[in-house]
Amino acid sequence: MTHKANLALLVTLAAGTLATSAMAQFLPPNQPTPPAPQAPAPTPAPAPQKAPASTTAKAPDIKTPLTFSDQEIAAVAQMLTGCWKATIPGSGDVVMGAAPVTIKGMSDCLYSELSRADAMSRPFRQTILQIHKVNGKVRVKTLEFVNKERTNHLAGLWAAPDAFPQTISPDDLKMTMDVELSKNGDTYHGRTVEPHPTNIANAVEMTGELKLDGKTFWTADRGFDKEKKQVWGPAMDAGYEFSRFDQGPQTIRIEGGVIVVDYPGAPAGTPAAPGQTITVDYIGYLENGNRFDASYERGVPFAFTKGDPKLQEGWNRAMYDARKGQVRRIVIPGPLAVERKDAKAPANTTLIYDVRVLDVGAARPPMPMVQGPGAVKPGLQPVDPGSQDPGFLKAQENFRRMQEERRKKEAEQAKPAEKPAEKPAEPAPKK
């Protein structure tokens, strides 16, 4: 399969009914004219499509193991790497995913996510864990992202750490905790060296505690107010224990370098067949975190025919096995992404898509064309309407309100300016 360059991404029209009409002037000499057809000829079956070669692995799928600066640091990193789950009172089942990543200007780092078990594609906390040594003691440093609104494109990439963008730098991070560990047998245990400032839930400072042995890890973050009184977190002798979780995402690697992170769920039916229409909602990101396109902004899901050659080759490969109900993160390398001259999505640029498959059905009749994956629409602030997370629902409501206010403002600006009422003429002075 070859990359289709410089083609606009369009919703394709399902194959219509093909009727044949005999045209005598186009027939070879001395051939009788066939009778006019009594009914439209049946639509020919779609040409079979070859499935792209792929491999599937449990996340994280570490294609190229990183080299750590110290053997003990590597051992601690290995203890933290993987997919974990804990049951936390008031929050239910929480999943953590972590894997080593490369960050320019830093060493010995892991990217980590925390999410609810029923919403793994929407992490509520994303951090970088840096393992380092001070005076021969191993420490685990937690670094938060300064701009949390620019981290949505990273979601799920712990499952395929080689796809982690090389756009993150130390300037994008700030330290919140540093836990010093001591080893006792096969177990590491430690607490924060000193409290760190915070503004979470009425606390002014926070501490952390960590215990890990490779099979489980135990953690406890606690917040304190100005009077040193604990205002959130577990009791001093309690914490949350995470165990390895083998029901997390799967990483699918497809020929050409396309990566799909499939989240657990219950997709319905069978994978889309050639000629069927696949309907999705999606958000498209660049590696720097910029959102360049989203079906949510248009308010209309994107429908396309499986294997449509007008779409990105990487998109077609990633969606070859699409099933209703799938939630997946797709990374398309530049050579298989759409080529654009638009500054919002430059040519030969890696694209990251957050995709939800809404439906897989029969071919549809012709429908109005709309933009599809790769199309650029500046100024997007999409929100996922399928999420039940309170933060997303609030953001969705705010977005709708802003859209309504913008429409009202545009309508007001479109009205012709009213002329000021003419002042009545003053009566002539009496003589």
Residues 6+ apart with CB under 8 A from 286: 153, 292, 344, 345, 349, 350, 351, 352
Lowest model confidence (mean pLDDT) among 125-134, 284-293, 374-383: 374-383
pLDDT digits (tens, 9 = 90+) for 325-377: 999 999 999 989 876 555 677 778 899 999 999 999 865 544 444 455 643 33
**Calpha distance 209→389 (Å, rounded):** 28
* Topology (CATH level 3) of domain 1-13+49-59+249-405: Chitinase A; domain 3 (3.10.50)
236 pLDDT exceeds 60? Answer: yes
Most confident of 148-152, 194-198, 264-268, 278-282: 278-282
The per-residue pLDDT for 34 is: 37
Task: Please tell me the predicted confidence (pLDDT) of residue 170.
Answer: 95
Q: How many CB atoms lie within 10 A of CB 32?
A: 8
Instruction: Name the strand (E) or helix (H) holding 132.
Output: strand 125-134
Residues 6+ apart with CB under 8 A from 246: 58, 83
DSSP letters for 342-365: STTS-TT--EEEEEEEEEEESPPP
DSSP reduced 3-state for 78:
helix
Of 40-49, 91-100, 222-231, 359-368, the poorest mean pLDDT is in 40-49
Q: Is the pLDDT of residue 107 over 80?
A: yes
pLDDT value of position 53: 83
Q: What is the pLDDT of residues 191-218, one digit of tens each?
A: 999 999 988 889 999 999 999 999 999 9
**Segment 78-89 mean pLDDT:** 94
Least confident span in 106-115, 225-234, 263-272, 417-426:
417-426
Chain region(s) in the chain for CATH 3.10.50.40: 1-13+49-59+249-405
Residues 62-244: name the CATH superfamily: CpcT/CpeT domain (2.40.128.590)
Find the range with the poorest average confidence among 93-97, 149-153, 247-251, 336-340.
Answer: 336-340
Among the ranges given (63-67, 188-192, 291-295, 391-395), the one the predictor scored with the smallest mean pLDDT: 391-395
**How far apart are the two ends of the chain, measured CA to CA in Å?**
98
pLDDT at 33: 35
| pLDDT tens digits along 275-284 | 899 999 999 9
User: What's the chain's average pLDDT?
Assistant: 78
- Mean pLDDT confidence for 221-243: 93
- In this prediction, residues 3-26 reach a mean pLDDT of 28
**pLDDT beyond 70 at 430:** no
Q: Residue ranges of the alpha helices (H) in 113-254?
A: none
